[in-house]
Chain A
């Protein structure tokens, strides 16, 4: 609602959304959103987690039904919100973040699903393969259409999903954070595909947090915040700063400045000391973490950095070496031991390993401190609710009530709730794996701020991340792992992405980003 729409009216709109709302009980995921996507354009939709982007995309793909408002696709009003109608009748296809492919079926079968040539119950296999091969060719993906999808990497699977939408002759393709699973090189390939699709007249809706790609690809930018449409500009007429300001509704620059406080001086007794530690996926690791220090851990996904954190926490067995916590020998045989020693661990796989999906925000936050709130063997509900409210408020978890199911929160708010959970044990050491994965700018800034207040209080923090700029921002030192071994520790002041990558990839050519 900030800037006036400057789209020339005569071009037909591929999608027109009018007064769209979606309420989940008291939560207003979308509130009276009106926007229009010009045919043939690439239009970006931006916003923090929880801003309503995903809900909007789900509605456009028929995966959710609006509470109020209307959607028109190419002038025709959508009457039934289900994926089949949107795809077959309105030709809208979604490329979701979590790719849903039949892993054991062939590439061709996945692409041609629902569009098989030949008489209905008996698709013509040869033509299925041929047609799939044509589509793969068009996307520049060189894989065997008869091979199982399981053997493809994430980037190729994503292109298979795009090929599938082409097979169904989609006129509008929605890409939901497509680069979140891609390396820079893979992203570049995707951008090429996107440009060629646009040249072929396909309209694209592009959801992303990443400014550079949005500015490189899009012609229009829409911003949602707290379920409302708060801004819209032609890309050429807006700056990234303006977009960020609209997304977060406040200025954030300070949070993303490099961590400039001097690294704490090495103390006689480090918070955590590892000597020759080995376990599944890593070996011979020597590391110290001082109280109040943020140690970044960089490395390719198979470098062992994920396993190292799990090992320290006792989630996987440690097979040798010495660990000590504040000078005392410490070997967690199970997460329980680690928690008792006030060591926290935030898993990278939030949805599978972090949240308790069937429970409320309050239960998720309280799970580690139930013992303190018991009387006669029963849990004191009132006290627990107050605990949860306080903790959720301290970390500014956006939720209508802590009695709400945790899965109804956005990714960033789930992550904040999980941090609130771990802060409840007043940790002295926190092991954080991808703490800001799938988290928007605003929440990211809050998490970084949290790191600072924690380190000021003397907490030792180990952050493992594939996001190098993040590691450079938050860390005092960065330890780099490659193939399960520690290959270097760099002071953050001297670290650059290039230096870290050079270590992480060793002599090999860079294939994936770390």
Chain B
């Protein structure tokens, strides 16, 4: 029924004539959300080439790739949360929780794949709880995850009993487990970077091509409008928090595998770097916008920036200052560009 027999005798609408299908790829690229972040990354690259000795080179680039992998994996999850117009401040604590749970299981001679899954599962449960509390209590996720930032850290400290956990390469399974964080694909590409790439690609496809990704943008843009379109907004949000927790748990497991060492405070402050990467990548804290490609570029930007400062021998205290300044600059530049071009 309801066939649309639209009315006769209407003059053609002039605006429709301007079909922009013929836009050049370059034009499309320059108007993409990620363009400004990407250009900033290119500038940073050029700067690195000029002022940082040893910046250009496969080894250095792969080192950067390895360094950004854990933050990157966390940022993929945080991207889903932020596009939902929520925030997850607890991922640094979940990182520690995942690492400690995995470490304890390894120390109790649980087979390493199960120990790794245990760490990831701890992260998943932590994320699920964040989501259930946010949606169930109807309170801002800023508050919920500010609380769990502390709660999960406390649980992690309790579990570890305050003393560090070290894995000995002589123990069974540890050598294999360490390959996750220390191994290199084809003896060249760090396994962590491979995993990050995998997670990012899957995240990208889910976000841009799946119905779940579509619903994420809808809910983040206007939760009420999305609900009136039949979307279960609570479920979409809980799923995003669970994903964020799971990936933070995975990052923690990789961290343990890389260092063979974890303590109760491991991961403190990482949430801010992960959130920063997402914001630099162009996602708006109001929700409804942002892309996975942007996040990856944002992660790379932070990694390259720190690498250049390292190579120049600048103290890590200054690196902290620089990261913060970049967040402000990135958002300011993006806002300025959008205002100029009339995009919203």
Q: Which residues of A contact B (CB under 8 A)?
A: 24-27, 226, 249-250, 313, 315, 334-336, 338-340, 345, 347, 352-359, 363, 367-368, 370-371, 374, 377-379, 381, 393-396, 398-401, 403, 405, 407-408, 421, 423, 426-428, 446, 449-450, 453-454, 457-459
Q: 18 A-B Cβ contacts within 8 A?
A: A25-B341, A347-B228, A352-B222, A352-B224, A352-B225, A353-B222, A354-B225, A356-B217, A356-B226, A357-B288, A359-B288, A374-B211, A378-B209, A379-B210, A379-B211, A401-B20, A423-B2, A426-B2
A401 to B6, CA, bound (A): 20
Asked whether any CB of chain A lies closer than 8 Å to the CB of B50, the reply is no
Given contacts A336-B230, A368-B229, A396-B13, contact A356 B211 (CB under 8 A): no
Residues of B within 8 A of A335 (CB): 227-230
Not counting A26-B20, A449-B7, A454-B2, a sample of 20 additional A-B residue pairs whose C-beta atoms are within 8 angstroms of each other reads A24-B342, A250-B10, A335-B228, A338-B230, A352-B222, A352-B225, A353-B228, A356-B221, A358-B287, A367-B231, A371-B211, A393-B16, A394-B4, A395-B4, A400-B16, A401-B19, A426-B2, A453-B6, A458-B1, A459-B2
Shortest Cβ distance from A372 into chain B, in angstroms? 11
Cross-interface CB contact of A353 among B218, B225, B231, cutoff 8 Å:
B225
Q: Which residue of B lies closest to A227 (CB)?
A: B15
Q: Which residues of B contact A (CB under 8 A)?
A: 1-7, 10-11, 13-16, 18-21, 31, 205, 209-211, 214, 217-218, 220-222, 224-232, 287-289, 341-344
The answer to whether B217 touches A459 (Cβ under 8 A) is: no
The answer to whether B1 touches A457 (Cβ under 8 A) is: yes
Residues of A within 8 A of B19 (CB): 400-401
The answer to whether A381 touches B227 (Cβ under 8 A) is: no
The answer to whether B222 touches A357 (Cβ under 8 A) is: yes
A226 to B17, CA, bound (A): 13
A7 to B154, CA, bound (A): 78
Residues of B within 8 A of A363 (CB): 214, 217-218
A396 to B343, CA, bound (A): 23
Given contacts A356-B217, A363-B217, contact A400 B227 (CB under 8 A): no
7 tightest A-B CB contacts, nearest first: A358-B288, A358-B221, A336-B230, A24-B342, A339-B230, A394-B4, A449-B7
The answer to whether A226 touches B14 (Cβ under 8 A) is: yes
A399 to B232, CA, bound (A): 30
The answer to whether B214 touches A367 (Cβ under 8 A) is: yes
Shortest Cβ distance from B135 into chain A, in angstroms? 15
The answer to whether A249 touches B344 (Cβ under 8 A) is: no
Shortest Cβ distance from B5 into chain A, in angstroms? 5
Cross-interface CB contact of B230 among A27, A334, A378, A408, cutoff 8 Å:
A334
Shortest Cβ distance from B338 into chain A, in angstroms? 11
A338 to B229, CA, bound (A): 10
**A-B interface pairs (CB < 8 A), number:** 142
Q: Which residue of B lies closest to A404 (CB)?
A: B20
A356 to B215, CA, bound (A): 10
Residues of B within 8 A of A379 (CB): 209-211, 214
The answer to whether B16 touches A398 (Cβ under 8 A) is: yes
The answer to whether B211 touches A400 (Cβ under 8 A) is: no
Shortest Cβ distance from B129 into chain A, in angstroms? 24
Residues of B within 8 A of A449 (CB): 6-7
Cross-interface CB contact of B227 among A25, A315, A399, cutoff 8 Å:
A315
Residues of B within 8 A of A371 (CB): 211
Q: Which residue of B lies closest to A419 (CB)?
A: B4
Q: Which residue of A lies closest to B6 (CB)?
A: A394
A481 to B63, CA, bound (A): 71
Cross-interface CB contact of B210 among A355, A377, A400, A428, cutoff 8 Å:
A377
A371 to B211, CA, bound (A): 8
Shortest Cβ distance from B75 into chain A, in angstroms? 20
Shortest Cβ distance from A334 into chain B, in angstroms? 7
Shortest Cβ distance from B3 into chain A, in angstroms? 6
A400 to B14, CA, bound (A): 9
A345 to B227, CA, bound (A): 12
A398 to B12, CA, bound (A): 10
Cross-interface CB contact of A396 among B6, B222, B344, cutoff 8 Å:
B6
Residues of B within 8 A of A423 (CB): 2, 4
Residues of A within 8 A of B15 (CB): 27, 226, 398-400
Given contacts A347-B228, A359-B221, A371-B211, contact A405 B344 (CB under 8 A): yes
Residues of A within 8 A of B341 (CB): 25
Shortest Cβ distance from B186 into chain A, in angstroms? 30
Given contacts A356-B226, A367-B214, A367-B229, contact A428 B1 (CB under 8 A): yes
Among A338, A358, A427, residue most surrounded by chain B Cβ atoms (within 10 Å): A358
Residues of A within 8 A of B230 (CB): 334-336, 338-340, 368
Q: Which residue of B lies closest to A393 (CB)?
A: B16
A395 to B13, CA, bound (A): 11
The answer to whether B229 touches A453 (Cβ under 8 A) is: no
A420 to B182, CA, bound (A): 54
Residues of B within 8 A of A27 (CB): 15
Shortest Cβ distance from A426 into chain B, in angstroms? 5
Q: Which residue of B lies closest to A22 (CB)?
A: B342
The answer to whether A426 touches B1 (Cβ under 8 A) is: yes
A226 to B221, CA, bound (A): 28
Residues of A within 8 A of B222 (CB): 352-353, 355-357
The answer to whether B4 touches A446 (Cβ under 8 A) is: no
Shortest Cβ distance from B236 into chain A, in angstroms? 13
Residues of A within 8 A of B16 (CB): 393, 398-400
Residues of B within 8 A of A25 (CB): 20, 31, 341-342
Residues of B within 8 A of A367 (CB): 214, 218, 229, 231
Among A249, A354, A356, A458, residue most surrounded by chain B Cβ atoms (within 10 Å): A356
A316 to B160, CA, bound (A): 48
Cross-interface CB contact of B344 among A353, A400, A407, cutoff 8 Å:
A407
Cross-interface CB contact of A358 among B6, B289, B342, cutoff 8 Å:
B289
Residues of B within 8 A of A459 (CB): 1-2
A412 to B320, CA, bound (A): 49
Residues of A within 8 A of B214 (CB): 363, 367, 370, 379
Residues of B within 8 A of A370 (CB): 211, 214
Q: Which residue of A lies closest to B343 (CB)?
A: A405
The answer to whether B11 touches A378 (Cβ under 8 A) is: no
Shortest Cβ distance from B79 into chain A, in angstroms? 14
Given contacts A335-B230, A368-B229, A377-B210, contact A453 B5 (CB under 8 A): yes
A450 to B231, CA, bound (A): 27
